[in-house]
């Protein structure tokens, strides 16, 4: 069942919510129509489950990226690098469910809107935490503002997904080197 949900995630990422018919879903999930409606109330419920699965998986991936860093600054750098890598190439073209949901559904679907909002805040808090770690261990200068820098970095990460979906080439090392100036 979780593997079916993973396939649903993939379809929703590629095509978005409205362009994904339940025919597309059943084909991708390798389930019949009836079976999908036995497991989920409706298409909206499938999407919500896919959204949750996607965000928990992504959370793990960025946490792992952060873990490979000796201090706050390095952990933050690794997170940014991880974001660029996920926004590049075929994975980037596949898209981000959070960005997709924000753009396509946030304004018209209050339930999805609330989840997107919560997820962005979670991500922002995670980055803010890394900045605070850097302030504490001395790898980030004292005068850096935590909230403002974290919010701008969220903008960068979300923007990376948009630009990656549009197939502009992204060079991780170079972009991150520029972005790290925000911690000067």
Partner DNA sequence: TTTATTCGGGAACAATCATTCCCTATTATC
Partner DNA sequence: GATAATAGGGAATGATTGTTCCCGAATAAA
CA pair distance 43, 66, nearest whole angstrom = 35
Q: Which of 26, 78, 106, 139 binds a second copy (CB under 8 A)?
A: 106
User: Counting contacts by CB under 7 A, is residue 112 touching DNA?
Assistant: no
Contact indicator for 162, 156 with CB cutoff of 8 Å? no
User: Which listed option, DNA, a second copy, none, makes contact with residue 178 (CB within 5 to 8 Å by class)?
Assistant: a second copy
> Helix 110-137 crosses helix 43-67 at what angle (to 10 degrees)?
10
User: Counting contacts by CB under 8 A, is residue 19 touching a second copy?
Assistant: yes
Number of residues engaging a second copy in binding (CB under 8 A): 50
In the complex with DNA, the residue whose CB is nearer, 32 or 152, is 32
**Contact string (CB under 7 A) for DNA, positions 24-63, x = contact:** ------xxxxxx-xxx--xxx-------------------
In 16-137, which ranges are continuous DSSP H helix?
Answer: 22-29, 33-39, 43-67, 72-87, 89-94, 97-104, 110-137
Q: How far is the CB of 37 from DNA (least distance, A)?
A: 4
First to last CA, the chain: 47
């Amino acid at each position: 069942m979780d593997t079916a949900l993973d396939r649903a995630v993939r379809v929703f990422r590629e095509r978005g919510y409205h362009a994904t018919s339940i025919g597309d879903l059943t084909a991708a999930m390798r389930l019949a129509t009836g079976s999908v409606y036995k497991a989920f109330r409706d298409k909206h419920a499938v999407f919500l489950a896919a959204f949750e699965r996607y965000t928990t998986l992504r959370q793990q991936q960025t946490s792992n990226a952060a873990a490979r860093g000796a201090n706050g600054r390095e952990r933050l750098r690794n997170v940014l690098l991880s974001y660029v890598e996920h926004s590049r190439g075929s994975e980037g073209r596949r898209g981000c469910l959070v960005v997709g949901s924000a753009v396509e559904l946030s304004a018209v679907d209050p339930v999805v809107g609330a989840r997107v909002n919560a997820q962005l805040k979670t991500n922002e808090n995670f980055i803010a935490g890394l900045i605070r770690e850097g302030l504490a261990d001395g790898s980030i200068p004292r005068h850096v503002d935590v909230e403002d820098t974290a919010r701008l970095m969220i903008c960068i990460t979300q923007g990376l997904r948009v630009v990656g979906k549009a197939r502009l080439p992204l060079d991780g090392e170079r972009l991150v080197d520029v972005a790290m100036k925000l911690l000067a």
